[in-house]
Amino acid sequence: MGIKDIAIKNLLRRKSKAAFILAGLVIGVATVVGVISFADTMTRDINHKLEKYGANILIVPRTNNLALTYGGMTLGGVSFEMEPIRHSQLARITTIKNAANLAAVGPITLGAVDFNGRAALLAGVDFDAAEILKPWWNRNGPAPTRNELQVGSEAAKLLGIDRGDQLVINGRTMVVSAILAPTGSQDDQLLFTTLSTAQAVLEKPDQVSMVEVAALCNACPVNEMVAQISEILPNAKVMAIQQVVKGRMETLAQFRKFSYGLSVVVVFIGGLVVLVTLMGSVRERTVEIGIFRAIGFRKGHIVRMIFIESGLISVMAGAVGYLAGIGAIWTGLRLFGSHGAVVVQLDPLLAAGAIAMALVIGLLASAYPAIMAARLDPNQALKTI
């Protein structure tokens, strides 16, 4: 038998006190694990959503014109009198080093058209790529094929266009296959058709005004892919859409700061629970500690005994707290989050960190009670009945 055995037997004897200390630490650890896991899970989920849906790289022709905006994003030198990008050049994009990170490449050919004496903006797009690049598009009919149109909601209202209408655009008869539901963006004011139809109507064969690219950049920086595309398209200007990247990062950073602050408070309270409970325990064990000191235990032996007790509980609290935190997030996301879409991952590093954190907090919180116990005067202690 050693000091460790005395510590274990004392824990087993005072199960309710041990459970109370355990609960205090478990709540603290579970909170930290929960918020870290939640932040990581949300980060992965948001990255997945943002990178899969919507463009985060823009390719425009090199121009010295003033910047215009499209969809609230800075486009650089976009105008209607620019040297276009060749459609045939775009195949090179699939040859870059990080081609596997490309979710969609969406060329757009833009041009002004005349409709019943009124000017409108016609955009030729790849509707397959648009499924990924513009997932918010909601239309009341099928995607246009050759010589068919998809009309933005505001354009349809202003021009008096309905689904099924036949329009003559630059001398070409086109049928409206669908009206786009309001998107709140410039798309509401445009007429959309297939890329080849637009190039024919606008007399811009093999010409592309801009290219939207959706890159999956959870594992690689967007800027690397921008550099790779720039290298193979020297006559184009390639940009990362910084607003999207920055906005995402700032939101997550704010959430993380709040989460960590909350976790510190909860962990501190858990530590206080350990401190107060152990101090009460030491007072209860005054005679017992007096016996130990009377028969020759040094102060260091008493301190070691208290530390072993709190250490054992702390390690257990770390493991239980980790599982409780993961379990809480898993349950919460199932109940309140995206159905089945978000996956909470078990992280061995986080588990080890949780146990280490619980151990450090438990030992720190038990330092004062341990010193208090060691300083008990055995003569006074044995007089306590």
Partner 1 sequence: MSLIVFDTVSKTYGRGASMVTALDGISFTIQSGEFVGIMGESGAGKSTLLSVMGAMNTPSNGRYLVEDMDVYALRQEQQADFRREFLGFVFQTFHLVPYLSVKENVMLPLITLKISNQLKEEMTMEALQWVGLETKANRLPNQLSGGECERVAVARAIVNNPPILLADEPTGNLDSRNSDEVMALLGRLNAGGTTVVMVTHSAACAAHAQRIITLSDGRLRHGNNALGMAAAVKAA
Footprint of partner 1 (CB under 8 A): 1-3, 5-6, 9-10, 12-13, 287-288, 290-301, 377-379, 382, 385
> Nearer to partner 1 by C-beta: 12 or 119?
12
> Nearer to partner 1 by C-beta: 121 or 382?
382
Minimum distance of partner 1 from residue 384's CB (angstroms): 11
> Nearer to partner 1 by C-beta: 8 or 220?
8
Q: Among 215, 136, 217, 147, which residue's Cα sits nearest to residue 183?
A: 136
63: which 2 tokens? 């121009």
CA 28 – CA 320 distance, rounded (Å): 11
> Nearer to partner 1 by C-beta: 6 or 175?
6
Q: Which DSSP string corresponds to 216-258?
A: --SSS-HHHHHHHHHHH-TTEEEEE-HHHHHHHHHHHHHHHHH
CA 213 – CA 225 distance, rounded (Å): 10
CA 164 – CA 217 distance, rounded (Å): 40
Minimum distance of partner 1 from residue 272's CB (angstroms): 27
> Nearer to partner 1 by C-beta: 7 or 226?
7
> Nearer to partner 1 by C-beta: 14 or 49?
14
C-alpha distances in angstroms, 382 versus 225, 290, 371, 379?
76, 6, 18, 5
Minimum distance of partner 1 from residue 298's CB (angstroms): 5
Task: Please compute Rg for the chain using Cα positions.
Answer: 33
Minimum distance of partner 1 from residue 369's CB (angstroms): 19
Minimum distance of partner 1 from residue 327's CB (angstroms): 34
CA 137 – CA 151 distance, rounded (Å): 11
Minimum distance of partner 1 from residue 299's CB (angstroms): 7
